[in-house]
């Protein structure tokens, strides 16, 4: 009965590769988010979708592309991975944009 799930939990890959992280929520929420937590544990929002519409698009390299096929899913595709992309990526969801955000377990991405 996991509320917000992400796959994979760990991802190790080489520089230059393309990878995707998937997120699904079963809370009936209509808004989903991607956050990045760097090595100093600082958390920063990357994107947000509300009813499949992109509403937050922070200053993120265009190698990062979110996709929301429906309200329950938000995927993150990363092209041409760089060393600096190594981080933990969290997905979150909320009911409405002012609702409390519930986070997934995170995906630790390591770029070698």
Partner 1 sequence: AQTVTQSQPEMSVQEAETVTLSCTYDTSESNYYLFWYKQPPSRQMILVIRQEAYKQQNATENRFSVNFQKAAKSFSLKISDSQLGDTAMYFCAFMAPNAGGTSYGKLTFGQGTILTVHP
Residues that bind partner 1 (CB under 8 A): 31, 33, 35, 40-45, 48, 50, 55-56, 58, 88, 90, 92, 94, 97-98, 100-103, 105-106, 108
Q: How far is the CB of 107 from partner 1 (least distance, A)?
A: 10
Q: How far is the CB of 112 from partner 1 (least distance, A)?
A: 21
Q: How far is the CB of 80 from partner 1 (least distance, A)?
A: 26
3-state secondary structure the chain: CCCEEEECCEEEECCCCCEEEEEEECCCCCEEEEEEECCCCCEEEEEEEECCEEEEECCCCCCEEEEEEECCEEEEEECCCCHHHCEEEEEEEECCCCCCCEECCCEEEEEC
Nearer to partner 1, 10 or 17 (CB): 10
Nearer to partner 1, 19 or 106 (CB): 106
């Amino acid at each position: 009965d996991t509320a917000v799930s992400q796959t994979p939990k760990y991802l190790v890959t080489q520089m230059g590769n393309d990878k995707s992280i998937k997120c699904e929520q079963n809370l009936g929420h209509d808004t989903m988010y991607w956050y990045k937590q760097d090595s100093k544990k600082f958390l920063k929002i990357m994107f947000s979708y509300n009813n499949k519409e992109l509403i937050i698009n922070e200053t993120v390299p265009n190698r990062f592309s979110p996709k929301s096929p429906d309200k329950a899913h938000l995927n993150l595709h990363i092209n041409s991975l760089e060393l600096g992309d190594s981080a933990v990526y969290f997905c979150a969801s909320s009911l409405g944009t002012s609702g409390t955000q519930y986070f997934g377990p995170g995906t630790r991405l390591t770029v070698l």
